[in-house]
Every structure is written in structure tokens, then in C-alpha cells.
Amino acid sequence: MPRARITFEVTDREAPVFVISVAAELSGMHPQTLRGYDRMGLVSPGRSGGGGRRYSVRDIELLRTVSELTSSGIGIEGVRRILEMEHQAAALRARVAELESQLDLALAAAMPNLPAVRSGSVVARWEPTRFSPR
């Protein structure tokens, strides 16, 4: 019988707060599975001063994702690749947002220097005539 999902709310998703037994319960996995995923580098929790694993909310979400992917028949290497691609996509989204912000700032700085367009003016787009060879 599948375990019931436990929900929780934490303000800092990256704070390593859950010991392995709690993380196992929250993710619906056995603690030994979590240790294996840590050894494989799939999910790398923080460490306490004594060296014990401490899982963040983000780690729990990642464990749940790994569980869903493996349950659907995807192997560990496939899961690893999917996680890498998700990480790359997130980095690219962040870069796009950064570039959009820079573009907005550049546009705002350039606006006062642009010539005014008279009311009633029509904007036209010129395209060269294409000649077909005879």
C-alpha cells in the first residue's frame, strides 16, 4: 500500500533541516535509498556539525521527483540526465530573465534620446524586392 504524502511549509527551501529518517518519511522512501542516492550524487543533502545528513525542502522535492521518475520506469542514469537537463533549463531561464532586465534598463536609458514621432505617423517596414532569376 502506498504511503500517504505528507505536506509541510518552510520559509527557506534551501535550509538543511530534516534528518534522514524524517526526509525518508516525507519522500516516501527508505533511509538506505536516500543514502544510496547521496553516494550516487543524485541528491546531495547538507551535513550537520557531526556529519549527519540534513535534507532541505528542495532536497525532499528532488527525492520525490526521483521517486516518480524511477516508478515510471526510468533508470538511474536517465534520472540523472533529466535532473541535469532541468538544472540547465533553470540556469537558462535565470539568464534570460537577467538579459531581459538589462534590456529593459537599456531601453529606459535610451528612450529620452529617441526622436519624437509625430501623431498620425505611420510606421512602415521596408523589404527589398526579390528578383527571380530568368
**pLDDT at residue 92, as a whole number:** 98
Reduce the DSSP state of residue 55 to 3 states and report it.
strand
Q: Residue 8: pLDDT band by 50, 70, 90 thresholds?
A: low
In degrees, to the nearest 5, what angle opens at C-alpha 82 toward C-alphas 7 and 101? 80
Query: Which grid coordinates are listed for 81?
Result: 540526465
Class of 20-109 per CATH?
Answer: mainly alpha
For the chain, give every domain's residue range.
20-109
Secondary-structure breakdown of the chain: helix, strand, coil percentages, each rounded to the nearest 5: 55, 5, 45
pTM: 0.66
Higher pLDDT, 124 or 39: 39
pLDDT in tens, 23-72: 999 999 999 999 999 999 999 999 998 999 999 999 999 999 999 999 99
